[in-house]
Amino acid sequence: MAGGKETPRQKMIGMMYLVLTALLAMNISKDVLNAFIQINRGLVENSENSEERADATMGLLNAWSDATKAGPFREEATKVVDEADKLIAYIVELKARVLAASIHGNASGDGFEEFIDKDYQSKHGRPGIIDIGDKEKVSKPDENQNTTALLIGSEPANPKTGAWTATELREKLTAFSTRCLAIEVTDIKGNKHSINDDKEAPKAAKSLIQSTFVFEDIDNADHEKEKWETALFYHTPLAAVISHLSKIESDVILVKNAALNYLTSEINASDLKFSDVTVAVVPKQSYILRGDSFVAEIYLAAFNKDSKTRVYIGGEAGENATAALFDYSGITPIVSGSNGKCKFKTNEGAIGKHSYKGVIVYQDADGQDQPIPFIIPPFTVGEASVTVDLELLKVMFAGTANPVSITIPGVAADAINVSATGATSNKLGNGRFDFTPQGGQSKVTLNISAQVNGQNLSFTKDYKVKAMPIPGIYLCGKGNGETVSGGLLRSNPIIGAGYGPQGLLTPEAGFVCSLKSFFLQIDGGKAMQSSSGGLTPEMVNALKSIKAGQKVIIYNGSATVKGTTSSGITATYLVN
């Protein structure tokens, strides 16, 4: 029971459904049963989505701008929906009775009420059963004797009839199919609209209904013909029976939607005339983060070059608002023509998320204005801003290049223009720049500009300029005045220059200190000199004899960072 214009999700569920049914016939049990539980959940979710579409279509019919014109179609649609909903309620109760029969071992399905999901009814406004994956309530999803007794009876070649049987289900489905294939409406002008008309819309709806409700005999695993009821429900495990019924329920909703869509399309079937097509691009979001995917609907849109279509924008729509007509008399249309391009200003100072209501007005074949309300999807209004991130501190250092990252929301990095007053600049790419303060400058001003939505934006940012700080000398990771381990000095002495654990200037930002030369003395003993920036063999040998309580003095040290050399660096360490 499938066919017609199904969504990719529906096609996928249908394909898995058929594969699992084939596997079930091969007696593959546990994994297949679990898979049927998952398929059933997908079918239930699919039915929920289809019901939402049906509700939306009925809402459109009930709010149709020309209530008189839509009246006959709305009346027929209401009848179809009532009959479909009664059939769906029957299928839901049948599923609950199947659960009761299987779990409690009664052939009539009495006590089915405990398997009706009251929370689902409250949330969705329509009946539903418990999740068959609930192991506490459905402990034996592979049970098949009691389900067969309820739905088929003991003779597979001659399924039983009566209430809550598979035969009764087929009869009700056949009756609903026959009812839908007899849809016919006479509009207010006396014209008849039949689902059996030889036109594209009715032919598509008729084809879907006919291909969905098919009850021919089905080949079993031995390639023998079985009745539809027997093939689906005879000695079929409980989980599969519920999935079969959920698939049938989904099919009923699919047909209900097809009928509603057909009736809706017939209201103005002879009204709108199109002379051309264009491409419509509808973004699904108005702001994305770096690394996110941009999502948009892109499709062909038909229009009439000679159309007198007008578009009016009302006030804010508000959160969760639905499209509704409003009084647009006296409002100047933002679109008058057929190209559909609109431009309007938001409220002054309206920072944040916004959505607006609107009405599009077209003329029908009788020259009468026909308004249709719509909602503009939410978009975000933000203040033009710039983010400047000095990668070291909130100051610049004289005599060296200072890396800076600059970003403007909505502007590509290579479209940002930057110059500096009081410094030379170097563009590194990807929104990063180096700024080197000029001699004697106490301040550097960054001048930043870009174009955002056709507007020229400019920003300035000031930074103080400071002299490059003098680095310290570190012995075994310890700085001036700290206590250093005698064991480390004797076994693995290491010396270097840097800016301490507070990370004043970090190697990651390119500020690597290099020790060039120094003198080392132990407790006023012999002064030893290194011209390489590392400990000499003489120094290493002297440190091997170091004792607790002695002092190590480093003086006349010289260190370089980014081309700037500091001399006369001194440090004293106490050995423990």
Domain contains 69: yes
Query: Cα 536 to the chain's mean position, in Å?
Result: 63
Per-residue pLDDT band for 275 (boundaries 50, 70, 90) equals low
State yes or no: pLDDT of 244 exceeds 60. Answer: yes
Give me the amino acid identity at 167.
T
Could you tell me where the beta strands, DSSP code E, fall in 366-507? 369-375, 379-381, 387-390, 395-397, 402-407, 417-421, 423-429, 432-437, 443-452, 455-466, 472-475, 483-484, 495-498
Among all chains, which residue has been given the structure tokens 């020259």? 367
**Tokens at 342, concatenated:** 């609109």
Query: Which amino acid, one-letter code, is at 318?
Result: G
Structure token digits, residue 157: 């070649």
292 with 176, same domain? no
Q: What is the pLDDT of residue 2?
A: 44
H helices of 181-268, in order, are 200-212, 228-233, 238-267
Q: Decide if 537 contacts 544 (C-beta within 8 A).
A: no
Per-residue buried b or exposed e for 7-17, using 16+ beta carbons within 10 Å of the residue's own CB: eeebeebbeeb
Q: Is 348 exposed, middle or buried (0-12, 13-18, 19+ CB in 10 A)?
A: exposed
- Mean pLDDT across the stretch 548-573? 93
- The answer on pLDDT for 276 being more than 80 is no
Res 498 pLDDT > 50: yes
Q: Which pLDDT tens digit goes with each residue over 277-326?
A: 667 666 666 555 445 566 777 777 766 666 678 888 888 887 778 888 88
Looking at the fold, whether 284 and 430 belong to one and the same domain comes out as no
* Whole-number average pLDDT of the chain: 85
Percent of the chain scoring above 90 in pLDDT: 52
**Please, which pLDDT band fits residue 370 given cuts at 50, 70 and 90?**
confident
Res 309: pLDDT: 81
Specify the amino acid at residue 58: M
* Lowest pLDDT segment from 264-278, 420-434, 506-520: 264-278
Q: How confident is the model at residue 570 (pLDDT cuts 50, 70, 90)?
A: very high
Which among 324, 345, 378 is the end of a domain? 378
**pLDDT class of 337 with cuts at 50, 70, 90:** low
Please report whether residue 2 resides in a domain. Answer: no
Task: Examine the domain organization and report whether 450 and 477 are in the same domain.
Answer: no
Whether residue 456 sits in one domain with residue 489: no
Positive/negative CA dihedral, 449, 450, 453, 456? positive
Q: Hey, which of 109-118, 381-390, 465-474 has the most confident mean pLDDT?
A: 109-118
Mean pLDDT calculated for residue range 473-487: 94
Kindly state the helix (H) or strand (E) to which residue 21 belongs, with its residue range.
helix 8-25
- Measured between alpha carbons, how far is residue 304 from residues 13, 109, 300, 362, 370 in Å? 39, 59, 13, 10, 15
Report phi then psi at 79, rounded to 5: -65, -45
Please report which confidence band the pLDDT of residue 508 belongs to, taking 50, 70 and 90 as the band edges.
low
One-letter amino acid at 452 equals V
Structure-token pair, residue 51? 């019901």
Q: How many helices (H) and strands (E) does the chain have?
A: 11, 27
Residue 3 falls inside a structural domain: no
* 355 in the same domain as 338: yes
Domain that holds residue 506: 472-575
Q: What confidence score (pLDDT) does residue 17 get?
A: 59
- Note whether 399 and 538 are same-domain residues: no
**Beta sheet of 528-530, edge-to-edge order:** 483-484, 564-575, 551-561, 513-522, 528-530
Smallest CA-to-CA distance from 308 within 368, 363, 265 is with: 363
Same domain flag for 358 and 415: no
Residue 299 sits in the same domain as residue 181: no
Of 345 and 498, the structure prediction assigns the larger pLDDT to 498
**In a domain? residue 1:** no
Question: Which pLDDT value is given to residue 26?
Answer: 47
Question: Is residue 349's pLDDT more than 90?
Answer: no
Q: Check residue 1 and give its pLDDT.
A: 47
Q: What is the pTM for the complete model shown?
A: 0.47
pLDDT value at residue 333: 85
**For residue 33, what pLDDT band results from cuts at 50, 70 and 90?**
confident
The first and second tokens of residue 468, run together, are 């490059």
Virtual torsion, Cα 200, 206, 211, 212, nearest 10 deg: 120
Give me the residues paired with residue 455 across strands. Answer: 452
Q: Are residues 335 and 430 in the same domain?
A: no
Confidence of residue 9 (pLDDT cuts 50, 70, 90): low
CA dihedral 548, 550, 556, 560 (to 10 degrees): 10
Where does the pLDDT of residue 507 fall: very low under 50, low under 70, confident under 90, or very high at 90 and above?
Answer: low
Determine the Cα–Cα distance for residues 91 and 556; give it in Å rounded to an integer: 94
**Long-range contacts (CB closer than 8 Å, 24 or more residues apart) made by 272-280:** 272/304, 272/362, 272/364, 273/304, 273/365, 274/302, 274/303, 274/304, 275/303, 275/304, 275/305, 275/306, 276/302, 276/303, 276/304, 276/305, 277/301, 277/302, 277/303, 278/303, 278/340, 280/340
pLDDT band at 230 (very low <50, low <70, confident <90, very high): very high
Residue 306 lies in a domain: yes
Number of domains in the chain: 4
Instruction: Answer for the pair 505, 511: CB distance below 8 angstroms, yes or no.
Output: yes
Q: What is the pLDDT, as a whole number, of residue 79? A: 97
Banded model confidence at residue 115, pLDDT cuts 50, 70, 90 = very high
> pLDDT class for 380, splitting at 50, 70, 90?
low
- Better-predicted residue by pLDDT, 569 or 18: 569
How far is the C-alpha of 104 from the C-alpha of 101, rounded, in Å? 6
**Residue 447 near residue 419 (C-beta atoms within 8 A):** yes
233 is a domain residue:
yes
Q: How confident is the model at residue 39 (pLDDT cuts 50, 70, 90)?
A: very high
- How many whole angstroms separate alpha carbon 481 and alpha carbon 504? 19
Last residue of a domain, which of 466, 497, 518? Answer: 466
SS3 (DSSP) at 147: helix
Domain assignment of residue 45, yes or no: yes
pLDDT at 468: 82
Structural domain includes residue 107: yes
| Mean of pLDDT values over 274-278 | 65
Q: Are residues 103 and 31 in the same domain?
A: yes
Q: What pLDDT is attached to residue 236?
A: 92
Summarize the chain as % helix, strand, coil (round to 5): 35, 25, 40
Same domain membership, residue 336 and residue 222: no
Residues 459 and 367 in one domain: no
Query: Which H or E run includes 176?
Result: helix 166-180
Decide which of 267, 292, 316 is a domain's last residue.
Answer: 267
pLDDT of residue 391: 59
pLDDT over 50 at 385, yes or no: yes
CA distance 3 to 208: 6
Model confidence pLDDT, tens digit, residues 396-442: 888 888 888 888 877 888 888 899 999 999 988 888 898 999 988 89
> CB neighbours of 14 closer than 8 A, spacing ≥ 6?
2, 6, 247
Which CATH number goes with the domain that contains 448?
2.60.40.60
Q: How far apart are CA 321 and CA 315, in angstroms?
A: 12
Which of 6-20, 33-47, 135-149 has the lowest average pLDDT? 6-20
Could you tell me whether strands 395-397 and 455-466 are parallel, antiparallel, or unpaired per DSSP bridges? parallel
What pLDDT, in 10s, does the model give residues 193-212? 999 999 898 999 999 999 99
